[in-house]
Structure 1
Amino acid sequence: MTLRPIAWRKSGRSTNTDNCVEVGRVGGGAAVRDTKHRAAGHFTTTRPQWTAFIGAIKTGRYDS
């Protein structure tokens, strides 16, 4: 079964850049796609996976 994302959106922080992703809601999680390559599709995550990822970003885990 393919989940159809609802209400794609991109971060307000990516307004002036071409390097961004869009997030859409799906039942029990999130869908993510590349803004520049929307036709390439998307991947989905569960709610716990998405929550952990956002938490890691907020704490700077992926900062270089």
Structure 2
Amino acid sequence: MTTLRWKKSTRSNGGGNCVEVARPSQVVMVRDSKDHQGPVLSFDAEQWVGFVQGIRAGEFDV
């Protein structure tokens, strides 16, 4: 079994509100940095690009 290499966002604020990302192959996996045993979201490359573009365009701003 391969151990995933999780990376925390360089923009994390240090207050615990962070996500971590791993890319084991053709998918991108995302999890809460405080809950390593919790749920993991999985995106294929096209979905990930669309998600990142949406973030940059402000589509998810509250």
- TM-score with structure 1 setting the length: 0.80
1:27 aligns with 2:30: no
| Identical-pair percentage | 34
Between structures 1 and 2, the one with greater helix share: 1
Paired with 2:34 and 2:54, the residues of 1 have a C-alpha distance of 24
Between structures 1 and 2, the one with greater strand share: 1
1:55 aligns with 2:53: yes
- TM-score with structure 2 setting the length: 0.82
Amino acid at match of 1:22: E
> Is the CA contact (8 Å cut-off) linking 1:23 and 1:32 kept in structure 2?
yes
Off by >4 Å, runs of 4+ in structure 1: none
